[in-house]
Structure 1
Amino acid sequence: MKYYIVEFTYCGPNSNDAEHVDFKRFEITTTPPRHESGYICWEGWLSTSDNVTRFALGQYDCLAAAEYRLQTGPLLRQRYRRDPVDDLPSDVLAVYRPGRLPPMPDDALDQWLECSVHIIEDDSSMGLVRRAGALRYELEEDGYSVTMERMISALAFRLDRVREERED
């Protein structure tokens, strides 16, 4: 039996949204990946459809060799996690994702900021950028991840709301 690695990457719009931030994954499968034209392809681009690009990253003789390739290649010096494969096809043996924490959904982030962060009208944009880093660290302590862009965007939105409320 041979083992194959297939990389899935989101390539569409709104890549910083919570649903897309943690989309990238590497699947180890026992079924050889196929190019969009139908032929088996072990290395290189396979297809792009519905804003998802698939790449083949090689053929391996054992599962351990495929996992070693991921950990010494694309996942080297990165935090990563191994996801459960319960709801995937039976030929998928392992799924690895860069980033050790699941993303916090947008609505949960907005609620968390509403309850946890006091923003005043005099806050500057640079001040919000500085706070965003500390807040991301807090979220990681709570077991979630969020991109810096998303955190800054959420803080800027809150600042705008505070200023609008002040004008009314």
Structure 2
Amino acid sequence: MKLLSFFLMILFISGCANSSREERLAEEKYWEYVEEYTAALKQPTPSIISSGAIFNFVYLNSKAEIIRTVTAKLTNEKVRSCSMENALKMEILVEQPERKPIFAESTEIAAYSVLGGSFHFSLRANICDGGMDVHGTVDEFGFAGEEVISSWPCPDIEKCPEPISNLVVGAPVQPNNLL
């Protein structure tokens, strides 16, 4: 039995040693994210996050080109969401370019959730696997995060495109400076 345990341990260790460079980098990136997220949770929720607050969000692609702008009002209205607990409705006031609904008859709900300095929002919070989720951190100056669009489902993993990652930044605005 000891010999079998020793053999299994050797197999496990050799399997770990053979992981690819990409796998190790992905794991390092994951643990960096966990550290940042944990630190954000420990921060107090900034005062700029309150019912009635209006934010401008700007989405930038990998070439630093603006691909979407959203002006949204935060509310205290609870809504159901596929990707976040304690979701509150986010009213979209202005969006460029305007999204087309996934389904012709669908009513899409935007929502947000905040835990300490961690801020998560979704432009399609009630659409599972298509929510346009953005994760990041918020402080008294604004928001910084990213939207990651997966190529899932993709039947042939070797031919799947890489996920698209868009930087999203946001800042509170005064209601009289909205438009």
- Normalising by the residue count of structure 1, what TM-score does the alignment of the two structures yield? 0.26
Higher helix share: 1
Higher RCO, 1 or 2 (CA under 8 Å, sep at least 6)? Answer: 1
Greater strand proportion: 2
**Structure 2 length-normalised TM:** 0.25
